[in-house]
Structure 1
Amino acid sequence: MRIAYVTETYPPELNGVSLTVDRTVRHLRERGHEVELIRPRQPGESACDDDAEWRTSGFPIPMYPDLRFGVASSAALQQRFERTRPQLVHAATQGPLGRAAVRAACALDLPATSDFRTNFHAYSHHYGLGWLEPVVYEYLRRFHNQTQRTFVPTRSVRDELARAGFRRLAVVGRGVDTEHFSPKKRSAALRAQWDCGDAPVLLYVGRLAAEKNVPLALCAFDAVRTRLPAAQMVVVGDGPMRRRLEAQFPAARFVGVLRDEVLAQHYASADLFLFPSLTDTFGNVTLEALASGLPVVAYDQAAAAEYVDDCDSGLLVTPGDERAFVAAACSLAWQHEYLASVRPRARAASLRARWDDVLLHFETQLAETVCALEPESAGEACVA
């Protein structure tokens, strides 16, 4: 297939979406598909505009200066598609660049697919813009309903969006590299650096931003320390809340953004993973923690609902019940001498999420979209 793959986040940006997009593009190319990648140019990158890649103009996202959104008119994309003649346009993100690409595909009667990866509408509450939530949600519904298929990460997201009027939804999960993230990466030297002794180490990995609900994980750590003062908390990541959180929770270790082998060692060397987010549609870090042998405390949604076996490979609590989240973290941490027996079960849970299976399923869905699209269905989608 000839695929125009449009995304507004891509390495070197570090987030779950950019890493998944990079892996997906590499998979499709390795499978012999012609993929033209369309994305914003990153600071310091050279310009690129050929049949394999177009780096468009881009600007920082407000409140997220290290992330960018792309800028290109639908007319410019239409002209490009007329020249490169893709059989399908896939919009991995829902920003201005993705919107322009879908509009161009509709104008040319090209099949288009999209990913629902981020609950942007839910972010508004965390920035004092709650009144915007229905506006953003309506934009997302109209955007995705213009495409022939919208890929979602879990069954629960599919059901929620279907109830809200999103159409043509298909579940395509996420995977994890179980060779890279592994209990074998556990490092005695790193634990000695943390000065934890036999006490448990709690871990958070992710962006330090309001929508991630990070203070709840740190409050849980404070509660754990009331009985286990030697317990440690390691926070991996960066973001606009870092300075405030460092000042508010001085007992936690903030180590910044980590990558590759160092990140894998931090996962495997901890004892318990806390994932307090209520806005993530999936949360790749949950799978990375499980693959590293960490029991997970999380709300019963997103990846945790799919892969964490409650009371077996972690503890799940009702979404929004902060007291239950803190109690679950304390329950596991205060019984940390038994956590070693949980590690194999956490690892086993992650083995159900194989990237090869996920990406082959996604590839098949794209091929079916190209083969099965009928002219009348394309017209119906484009006027939605």
Structure 2
Amino acid sequence: MSKPLHITLITETYAPEINGVANTLSNLCEGLRLRGHRVEVIRPRQREDESRACGEDLMLCRGWPIPGYPGLQWGQSSVHKLLHRWQRDRPDVLYIATEGPLGLSALRAARRLRIAIVSGFHTNFQQYSHQYGLGVVSLLLTSYLRWFHNRSNATLVPSISQKTNLARRGFERLELLSRGVDCQLFNPCRRSNFLRENWGLEPGDIAILHVGRLAPEKNLGLLKTTFDNLVAAYPAKKFRLVIVGDGPVRAMLQQQLPDAIFCGPQRGDTLATHYASGDLFLFPSMTGTFDNVVLEALACGLGVVAYDQAAAAQHISHGHNGAVAMPGDQEGFIDAARWMLEDDETLRRVRLNARQHASRQGWAGVIETLECYLRAASETRDGTVLGV
């Protein structure tokens, strides 16, 4: 039997913060611990941590808010604290999940101590800056991210398309680590007629759902365009647009979509109930590395419409368990949504197939794969870190 590992996770976001990275890391940590490994977490202090003390497996540092993203923060640079901590209690391997000041501190300290590093590419920061019209910043960020990740023993990416994209840009030692979904939590049986009635829906009406961060890079203008097109295409049907999440463009969306229902951020059972109470799920983003919400929507048996990339490319077979359009093809996206609602049987069949597919995408296999990557890195000779 293999020896348990001492794994240190460094991240600038973690549960109960509401985002895909925090959700993924929480599942990975819990899974590794259940497999007998010691997992130490190093992250910024959150509002819920006011009276919480650091311990053997938790180090909290100061966080700095990210402008325009309330609730998200960078971690304070802490090279000397990390050196002192790891000289006293050396981990077998690091998993650096974010590339901010805290992640950079961990990279530098680990290289100095010759501790093996596995990094995770969780967020397309370089694409976000491009969406904001900051092309030069995007190039600089790409260079920094390439430099950062090429100094780890391996960089884990969540999708095949992401792996191909980064390899073209000079990222090295890329490995695939997909994502899972909790199919007991995200389950069609959580559908709530009471919630649907609160949304103003009767049996046979269509709840069109979107879940995610409400930010400029998420291409949310397409929600209104698609919704308006569906209303015009199917005048005999009653639709309600339901938006779950929060972010910097929420107020603008509420002005553009006065009849939509904005539910704010949800988590746990309540989030799962919101998913399961929908019918059609629209996800127009083109900047995510994986998009956990796509897999959660499939698990709840929704008809998912998305662009053919990231999670959708891996998990949706067009016309079978969802519908996809080529990235950037706005008309194709709208056509895919229209096709889904052509008749009741199409949507019913797609939703059944969606749940069936998602039920095979649990976290256990993902965590086992991560364990293999971490163990391989920890066994490099003398803890040598590549990418010098």
The TM-score, its normalising length taken from structure 2, stands at 0.94
Aligned residue for 1:15? 19
C-alpha displacement of 1:76: 2.3
Determine whether 1:49 maps to 2:57: no
Aligned residue for 2:247? 239
C-alpha displacement of 1:337: 5.3
Determine whether 1:327 maps to 2:335: yes
Aligned counterpart in structure 1 of residue 10 of structure 2, from 6, 23, 29: 6
SS in 2 for 1:226: helix
Aligned counterpart in structure 1 of residue 217 of structure 2, from 206, 211, 217: 211
C-alpha displacement of 1:44: 4.7
Determine whether 1:25 maps to 2:29: yes
Q: Deviations over 1:242-273 (max 9, x none)?
A: 11001011121111111222211111111111
User: Partners in 2 of 1:275 and 1:35 — Cα distance?
Assistant: 34
Matches of residues 219-234 of structure 1 in structure 2 within 5 Å?
A: 219-229=225-235, 230-234=238-242
C-alpha displacement of 1:215: 1.7
SS in 2 for 1:65: strand
* Structure 1 residues 266 and 380: CA distance shift in structure 2, 3 A: closer
Aligned residue for 2:205? 199
C-alpha displacement of 1:341: 2.2
C-alpha displacement of 1:319: 0.4
Equivalent AA in structure 2 for residue 23 of structure 1: N
Aligned residue for 1:291? 299
Aligned residue for 2:100? 95
- The number of aligned residues is 380
User: Partners in 1 of 2:269 and 2:386 — Cα distance?
Assistant: 48
* Structure 1 residues 380 and 291: CA distance shift in structure 2, 3 A: closer
User: Partners in 1 of 2:58 and 2:270 — Cα distance?
Assistant: 31
User: Partners in 2 of 1:369 and 1:378 — Cα distance?
Assistant: 9
User: Partners in 2 of 1:221 and 1:115 — Cα distance?
Assistant: 35
SS in 1 for 2:40: strand
Percent of residue pairs bearing the same amino acid type = 45
Aligned counterpart in structure 2 of residue 374 of structure 1, from 363, 371, 381: 381
Contact persistence 2:115–2:385 (CA under 8 A): no
Q: Deviations over 1:281-331 (max 9, x none)?
A: 100000000000112111100000000111111111110111211221122
C-alpha displacement of 1:277: 0.6
SS in 2 for 1:304: helix
User: Partners in 2 of 1:368 and 1:90 — Cα distance?
Assistant: 13
SS in 1 for 2:47: coil
SS in 1 for 2:148: helix
Determine whether 1:159 maps to 2:159: no
Q: Decide which moves more: 213-222 or 146-155.
A: 213-222
Determine whether 1:316 maps to 2:324: yes
Equivalent AA in structure 2 for residue 251 of structure 1: D
Matches of residues 68-217 of structure 1 in structure 2 within 5 Å?
A: 68-197=73-202, 198-217=204-223
Equivalent AA in structure 1 for residue 315 of structure 2: Y
Determine whether 1:365 maps to 2:373: yes
Contact persistence 2:152–2:386 (CA under 8 A): no
Q: Give the 4+ runs in structure 1 shifted more than 4 A.
A: none
User: Partners in 2 of 1:130 and 1:183 — Cα distance?
Assistant: 42
Contact persistence 2:152–2:385 (CA under 8 A): no
C-alpha displacement of 1:162: 1.1
* Structure 1 residues 297 and 108: CA distance shift in structure 2, 3 A: same
User: Partners in 1 of 2:154 and 2:344 — Cα distance?
Assistant: 45
Contact persistence 2:41–2:59 (CA under 8 A): yes
Aligned residue for 1:248? 256
Equivalent AA in structure 2 for residue 265 of structure 1: T
Q: Decide which moves more: 265-274 or 187-196.
A: 187-196
C-alpha displacement of 1:193: 2.0
Equivalent AA in structure 1 for residue 373 of structure 2: Q
Equivalent AA in structure 1 for residue 365 of structure 2: D
User: Partners in 2 of 1:222 and 1:379 — Cα distance?
Assistant: 53
Equivalent AA in structure 2 for residue 250 of structure 1: P
Contact persistence 1:227–1:334 (CA under 8 A): no
* Structure 1 residues 312 and 108: CA distance shift in structure 2, 3 A: same
C-alpha displacement of 1:73: 2.7
Equivalent AA in structure 2 for residue 244 of structure 1: M
* Structure 1 residues 238 and 15: CA distance shift in structure 2, 3 A: same
User: Partners in 2 of 1:179 and 1:127 — Cα distance?
Assistant: 38
Contact persistence 1:88–1:370 (CA under 8 A): yes
Equivalent AA in structure 2 for residue 59 of structure 1: W
Structure 2: stretches of 5+ with no match in the other structure: none
SS in 2 for 1:319: coil
Aligned residue for 1:64? 69
Contact persistence 2:98–2:121 (CA under 8 A): yes
User: Partners in 2 of 1:44 and 1:351 — Cα distance?
Assistant: 33
Determine whether 1:265 maps to 2:273: yes
Aligned residue for 2:42? 38
RMSD: 1.5
* Structure 1 residues 101 and 163: CA distance shift in structure 2, 3 A: same
Contact persistence 1:200–1:333 (CA under 8 A): no
